[in-house]
Amino acid sequence: MVSVSTRKASYGRLSRFVQLLALALFAFAAPADAKTLRLVALGDSLTAGYGLPPGQAFPEVLQRVLSAKGFDVEVVNAGVSGETAEDGLARFDWSVPAGTDALIVELGANDMLRGLPPSGAKAALSAILDKAKAAHIATLLTGMRAAPNMGSAYQRQFDAIYPDLAKAYGVDLYPFFLDGVAADPKLNQRDGLHPTREGVEMIVASILPAVERLLATAKN
């Protein structure tokens, strides 16, 4: 007959074995590099959510859509209304901190609206892409288009900024941030410049495939 002390020792060893097996299985099932990706949206009022209720800005809506699709990602709203590309460059280091995995750059609209030289916006955006590249941050550049009343020469120079930079830096380009939304009264606020909640939802739906590719790149 097995003694009580012997049975207790056997049960103890079995319990310990089960615990170790469970820990091993958990470690095997969970990817070693699994982590929440940090995606920063660096932009102006179109990113900040000018005129919209709390929680309805582009980064917040994008966060909800990505989370609903199962992405483990934190989308940071680094938009500041009224900023030019140079302003975005000036605050890059604290708006896009160490540990950022992916970046959406949405800047240039205010440069265009103020009639600033396209060369200045291009230089600032180029410097932003330089910083992102040096920090090994996967980047999606979103384009803007000049309004027709800026004149054809200005329009050509400004519109060329984004495809030129995307090609030069080898980053993905979403050609026009306001695609499908610009100039539609139903999707813009009374100023005709900033999207409504419905407009933001359309922007997110349109840009989503590009963002999914961005996050896939950031994981690698």
Domain containing residue 48: CATH number: 3.40.50.1110
Give yes or no for a contact between 80 and 96, defined as CB atoms under 8 angstroms apart.
no
Query: Residues 130, 152, 191, 206: which is the catalytic one?
Result: 191
Q: Is residue 121 scored above 80 in pLDDT?
A: yes
pLDDT at 28: 45
Amino acid occupying residue 32: A
**Domain total of the chain:** 2
Kindly state whether residues 98 and 188 are assigned to the same domain: yes
49 and 146 housed in the same domain: yes
Active site residue 191: yes
23 pLDDT tier (thresholds 50, 70, 90): very low
Q: In this structure, are 69 and 105 located in the same domain?
A: yes
Q: Which residues contact 13 (CB under 8 A, 6 or more apart)?
A: none
In this structure, are 54 and 26 located in the same domain? no
Q: Which is the catalytic residue, given 44, 95, 159, 194?
A: 194
* Close Cβ partners of 216 (under 8 Å, ≥ 6 residues apart): none
Residue 60: domain span: 37-219
Is residue 44 among the annotated active site residues?
A: no
- Is 42 found in the same domain as 26? no
36 vs 28: CA distance, rounded Å: 19
In a shared domain, residues 16 and 72: no
Whether residues 104 and 86 share a domain: the answer is: yes
Query: Which residue, 131, 139, 209, is CA-closest to 172?
Result: 139
Let me know whether 20 and 79 are in one domain. Answer: no
Is the pLDDT assigned to residue 25 strictly greater than 50?
Answer: no
Q: Are 22 and 50 found together in one domain?
A: no
Here the tokens at position 28 are 């095997």
45 is catalytic: yes
When pLDDT is cut at 50, 70 and 90, the band that residue 27 belongs to is very low
